[in-house]
Amino acid sequence: MNIEHFVNTNLIDYTLYLADNALILGHRNSEWCGHGPVLEQDIAITNISLDLIGQARNIYQYAAKVINESSASPSYCAGDGEVTEDTLAYLRDVRQFKNCLLVEQPNGDWGKTILRQFLFSSYQFYLYGAMRSSKDETLAAIAEKSLKEVTYHLRWSSEWVIRLGDGTRESHERILNAITELWMYTGELFLPANYESRVVSAGMAGDVAQVKSRWEEKVKEIFVEATLPWPDEVFQQTGGKEGKHTEHLGYILAELQFMQRAYPGSEW
Amino acid sequence: MTTREIDKKTIYSYLEQVQDPEVPALNVIDMGIVRDVFLHDDGSLEIIITPTYSGCPAMDVISMNIRILLSTIGFKKIKITQVLSPPWTTDWMSEEGKRKLRNYGIAPPNPKQQVCSEKLFAPNEAVQCPHCDSWHTHRVSEFGSTPCKSLYVCDDCKEPFDYFKCH
């Protein structure tokens, strides 16, 4: 294995991790379309979906370029044609997806969706913030572009966590339940996969420990404002970054990929 | 016609005919989407564009419309390149574009420094109603009919309106 191949493989895995996160959370949020608690918030959550899916496209396009130019061309897709953003999104199977477990969790009630968005947006905010100075120009550009959108997502979801936590007894109760259901998936964000550590040490992505401390600071600040306790330590679930997912991802892909699986190559 | 006979300025004036499909009052030059134009030695024409928001569905349509327009004019080799850096900002919108937006009923973006921070519960930006010019307006939602807009309502004339938010 030559050095170029080694670097490329890690970069490909890492870009897929970033893109899969954005795609899967974008898809989850899109399930709210037409079901939001009020019209304005229905529009807000679907706007966030659109931003995330747009980010996913930019990253998949880059991943596809690296894969196609790579000498080794590992099997990232079914079929032997050229790899594109579409083949990466629509033709990979569950075990090939690298997204973190947090983003694939079911929407639950509004409180759970809000908390999931907040936990993820605050992670993405510091992750992309650090990635702006990546040695990889494309990743730096994508980070800088996306950060402007993520800033809106973070502010919006932070305000909602506070509104629900410091709201009525019921809203407080619901967001507490959401913490119980989701906290076990937050540890994985800061437990780097092998490819991630290598990309970070090559200066292509931000330092994971630094992102973690900023994330914790942010979450603490918002939880205090929201009158929410800092969660007790719980066993942290991991595996998503390596393709070992909760049962939910398979169902998401069954819906997301249905058209391309049933009618390969269909366009409209 | 060969590309050598014409200059960048002419190309820009052609591109003024390409509208933003989401905000038909504006063309791609007003929006600041076109970042550069290259007339290559081999006679090909390259247009550099940048998306407003990552997920803006208008970008594909805009690329296609630019291609259709230029080939109708007679250009044979057209390349449209999308760049992400530096990221698009509402600061690039022309004054002419802002005037057109207002006339169309959409409040134009304020100077950028007012927003784009993660600071919570920031006071509403002062946005002037495009219908009655009142400054007594308030934000209904930060997210609107397209990624680039938020929803406002005028407290004087009571009309709801879109605000092209700073970015």
Catalogue all structural domains in chain A, each as residue range(s) with its CATH number.
3-230+245-262 (1.20.1260.10)
User: Which of B84, B140, B142 is closest, CB to CB, to A142?
Assistant: B84
Among A33, A50, A85, the strongest candidate for a mutation testing the B interface, having the largest count of B CBs within 10 A, is A50
How many Cα atoms sit within 13 Å of B75 on the Cβ side? Answer: 27
Model pLDDT for residues A23-79, shown as the tens digit of each residue: 999 999 999 999 999 999 999 999 999 999 999 999 999 999 999 988 655 566 656
Q: What is the pLDDT of residue B121?
A: 79
pLDDT at B3 over 60: no
Question: What does the pLDDT look like over B35-65, one tens digit per residue?
Answer: 999 988 888 999 999 998 888 888 889 999 9
Give me the sign of the Cα torsion angle B127, B56, A69, A258: positive
Cβ–Cβ below 8 Å for B121 and A159: yes
Q: Which residue of A has its CA nearest to B119?
A: A155
- The helix (run of H) or strand (run of E) holding residue B80 is strand B78-82
Per-residue pLDDT, A162: 98
Interface test with A, best of B84, B115, B149 (most A CBs within 10 A): B84
- Minimal C-alpha gap between A148 and chain B (Å): 7
Give the angle subtended at the CA of A90 by the CAs of A86 and A96, to the nearest 5°: 110
Yes or no, beta carbons of B87 and A144 under 8 Å apart: yes
pLDDT at B114: 58
For B141, which of A40, A54, A146 is closest by C-beta distance?
A40
B4 pLDDT exceeds 60? no
Q: What is the CATH number of domain B3-82?
A: 3.30.300.130
Which letter does DSSP use for residue A256 in this model? H
Segments making up each domain of chain B, as ranges: 3-82, 90-164
In a mutagenesis test of the A interface, which of B118, B140, B152, B167 is the best target, namely the one with the most A β-carbons within 10 Å? B118
Find the CB nearest B54 among A43, A140, A149: A149
> H helices within chain B, ranges in order?
8-15, 28-31, 58-73, 95-104
Tens of pLDDT, residues B58-107 = 888 999 999 999 999 999 999 999 999 999 999 899 999 999 999 999 99
Amino acid A82: pLDDT: 86
Interface list for chain A against chain B, based on CB atoms closer than 8 Å: 40-41, 43-44, 47-48, 50-55, 57-58, 125, 137-138, 140-142, 144-146, 148-149, 151-152, 154-156, 158-159, 162, 225
What ipTM goes with this model? 0.86
B147-165 residue pLDDT tens: 888 899 999 999 999 999 8
Is residue A130 within 8 A of residue A209, CB to CB? The reply is no
Using the beta-carbon criterion (under 8 Å), do A159 and B151 form an inter-chain contact?
Answer: no
Gap from A240 CA to chain B (nearest CA, Å): 25
Write out residues in chain A with pLDDT < 50, as ranges.
1
Question: Which band of pLDDT confidence, cut at 50, 70 and 90, is reported for residue B31?
Answer: very high
Question: Residue A3's pLDDT is what?
Answer: 63
What pLDDT, on the 0 to 100 scale, is given for residue A73? 58
Instruction: Check CB contact under 8 Å for B120 and A53.
Output: no
**CA dist A100 to A143, A212, A262, B91, B129, Å?**
18, 15, 27, 36, 44
List, edge to edge, every strand of the sheet that includes B45-49: B34-39, B45-49, B78-82
- Tracing tokens 């805009």 back to the chain, one arrives at B62
pLDDT band at B115 (very low <50, low <70, confident <90, very high): low
Judged by CB atoms closer than 8 Å, whether chains meet at A151 and B118 is answered as yes
For residue B103, the distance in angstroms to the closest alpha carbon of chain A comes to 25
B chain contacts of residue A52, beta-carbon cutoff 8 Å: 55
Residues of A in contact with B142 (CB under 8 A): 44, 152, 155-156
Whether chain A has a CB inside 8 Å of the CB on B64: the answer is: no
Write the single-letter amino acid at B162.
D
